[in-house]
Amino acid sequence: MSTIDLLRHGEPRGGVRYRGDGVDDPLSERGWEQMWAAVAQTSDWTHVVTSPLRRCREFAEMLARRLDLPLDADPRLREVGFGAWEGRRHEEIREADPEAYLAFFRDAVHHRPPGAEPLDRFYARVREGILAIFDEHPEGHVLLVCHLGVIRAATALALEMPLATFYRMHTPYAGRIRLRRTMRGIELWIGQ
């Protein structure tokens, strides 16, 4: 059985804002504390995989060194691009264009921010990255340090949920989910 623990990065510097693959803020001091607390009860990980964005990568590098584990950075597992919304705060967008803001949350497939990465393309690349981890570590237990969008895509993969509902799921900073590939398929585990 192959297992992937997906760990969302901690709080980045700069506060809450749309931070996709175009804004690469490092973790705040609080974000580092959140991450170390999240792995305090370390598991039996055999490998660490990370998004190449620094809010994930810098912690993953330090943890892999500390645990003496191999580390890979996979560009397929970077956050979704938010186009014109990159770096902007939610309130700013909601006030500037409330209709577009609400449409995005009602149907994220057909109502993307201008210049944003298409959601189906994002899902396809994350799906490919996750399936590659399963294939490369058929009996392993991998820690994947990643983004909320990647966790949403992993959830969509396990539950075969429609992408239009993508933004109805939330995971806190340094929150975790687990995927297991068994003979029954990919299973989602919450609160391991």
pLDDT value of residue 14:
93
pLDDT at 192: 61
User: Is residue 144 in a domain?
Assistant: yes
Residue 110 in domain: no
Domain membership of residue 50 as a residue range: 2-79+119-189
In a domain, 181, yes or no: yes
Tell me, what CATH number does 55's domain have? 3.40.50.1240
List, in sequence order, the alpha helices (H) in the chain: 29-38, 54-67, 90-96, 98-106, 119-136, 148-159
CB 157 within 8 A of CB 186: yes
Residue 1 has what pLDDT?
83
Instruction: Confirm whether 30 is domain-assigned.
Output: yes
Q: Do strands 2-8 and 71-73 pair parallel, antiparallel, or not at all (unpaired)?
A: unpaired
pLDDT the model gives residue 190: 87
66, two tokens? 């500390």
- Give the pLDDT confidence score for residue 101 in this predicted structure: 94
d(CA 175, CA 159): 19
Specify the pLDDT at position 165.
87
Residues in the chain: 192
* Bridge partners of residue 9, in order along the sequence: none
Q: Is residue 170 part of a domain?
A: yes
What backbone phi and psi angles, to 5 degrees, belong to 67? -95, 0
Residue 87 lies in a domain: no
* pTM passes above 0.85: yes
Question: pLDDT averaged over consecutive 10-residue blocks of the chain (192 residues)?
Answer: 96 94 95 97 91 98 97 98 96 95 92 96 98 96 98 97 90 96 93 68
d(CA 181, CA 2): 5
- Ordered strands of the 47-50 beta sheet: 71-73, 47-50, 141-146, 2-8, 176-182, 185-189
Region of 160 please: left (phi>0), alpha (psi -120 to 50) or beta.
Answer: left
Query: Would 85 be classed as within a structural domain?
Result: no
Q: Is 23 a domain residue? A: yes
Number of domains in the chain: 1
Angle at 145 between CA 188 and CA 18, to 5 degrees: 95
